[in-house]
Amino acid sequence: MNQTSWTRCHILSLADFVPAEYDTLLQTAASFREVLSRRTKKVPALQGQVIANLFFEPSTRTRSSFELAAKRLSADTLNLSAGTSSLSKGETILDTAKTYLAMGADIMVIRHQQAGVPQTVATEMDRLASGVSILNAGDGQHEHPSQALLDLFTLYSFLEPNSPSGFLQGTKIAIVGDILHSRVARSNIYSLTSMGAEVHLAAPSTLLPKLLAHITDGTRVGKLFLHWDIESALQDADLVMTLRLQSERMSQHLLPSLREYHQYYGITRDRLKLCQPGVKLLHPGPVNRGVEISSEVMDDPQFSLISQQVTSGVAVRMALLYLIGSSKV
């Protein structure tokens, strides 16, 4: 499959992504990463097309990344931000989406605090035979596909395998943090296991998914392993992904304190010694220094792939917008 054979219209979830799609996405992103290293970081691919960024949940980083990706493809962008939106005037989300459709939006990038909203809008757009594509930029505790794809592309760029197919075979990846509430973890579990990785989830038991009636530390479900002991998750790991801790988890009594979280689950230089030599660290950002990761580790260039993730984000979002946009012609 090459990019001319891309047929997916919406990017809502990675649950049903197939290997050929991952391959195309990674190769397309690699070609855009090339564009980004030029002095004029722009291509005319989507000139005259309109991309509406509908961020019902506030965001700086993801919105900027999508906006920049759109501009670098020469598309025009429209931004709707929570708070200033018509939603506060009682309009339903579907009516808002239909307004942007009627204005001529070609692609809508949607973030919403409620799981399923991008899917609902996509279904309506299809029902109307609108031709509009929906890109899920994070929906509640459901999925955040572009984040998982940029994480995957970061690993692909770092490891430089001969071919993308199953390039994480034999790799142990630890995901540490609030797995239960994390749309980032959920999307990553799909993509990482699809590429062959063994994924070890580590969290306080209140923040682990209740997948099974009886889970014990180290319980295995296919290529997934669940741990409430971070040490066993990190043991011999090739890669460590940390998740952002939302401060509201404290008020929900799921965690005693940030300090205690850091003591038991924070990534420190000592804990990284449990991993493979050359272990690399990822975080979707923004990082709470001294909570998920110690400041010392954050500033050590030998461990962190965090800024590579941000760079990958622009390339991957260009690739997604481009593949979706091209599939329409």
The DSSP element (H or E) to which 314 belongs, if any, is: helix 306-326
Report the largest interatomic distance among the alpha carbons of the chain, rounded to a whole angstrom. Answer: 56
Two tokens, residue 99: 């307004």
From 3-11, 65-73, 162-170, 273-281, give the range in contact with its own copies by CB under 8 A: 65-73
- Using the rule CB under 8 A, is 151 a contact of its own copies? no
The site that binds its own copies (CB under 8 A) totals a number of residues, namely 54
Nearer to its own copies, 200 or 317 (CB): 317
From 9-17, 82-90, 160-168, 199-207, give the range in contact with its own copies by CB under 8 A: 82-90
Residues from 259 through 288 that contact its own copies (CB under 8 A): 285-288
Quick check: helix, strand or coil at residue 297? helix
Q: Match 């965090």 to its residue by tokens.
A: 306
Contact between 105 and 50 under an 8 Å Cβ cutoff? The reply is yes
Q: How far apart are the first and last CA of the chain?
A: 17
Residues from 300 through 319 that contact its own copies (CB under 8 A): 307-311, 313-314
Alpha-carbon distance of 269 to 159, in angstroms, equals 22
Contacts (Cβ under 8 Å, ≥6 apart) of 252: none
Q: Which residue among 2, 15, 34, 61 contacts its own copies (CB under 8 A)?
A: 61
Quick check: helix, strand or coil at residue 295? helix
- Using the rule CB under 8 A, is 20 a contact of its own copies? no
Q: Report the nearest approach of its own copies to the CB of residue 292 (Å).
A: 11
How many other CB atoms sit within 10 Å of the CB of residue 35? 17
Nearer to its own copies, 25 or 75 (CB): 75
Q: Report the nearest approach of its own copies to the CB of residue 96 (Å).
A: 7
Quick check: helix, strand or coil at residue 59? coil
* Chain centroid to CA 168: 17
Q: Report the nearest approach of its own copies to the CB of residue 283 (Å).
A: 10
From 95-103, 139-147, 196-204, 232-240, give the range in contact with its own copies by CB under 8 A: 95-103
Q: Which residues bind its own copies (CB under 8 A)?
A: 36, 38-42, 47-50, 58, 60-61, 64-65, 67-68, 71-72, 76, 78, 80-81, 84-86, 89-92, 95-96, 98-104, 247, 285-289, 298, 307-311, 313-314, 329
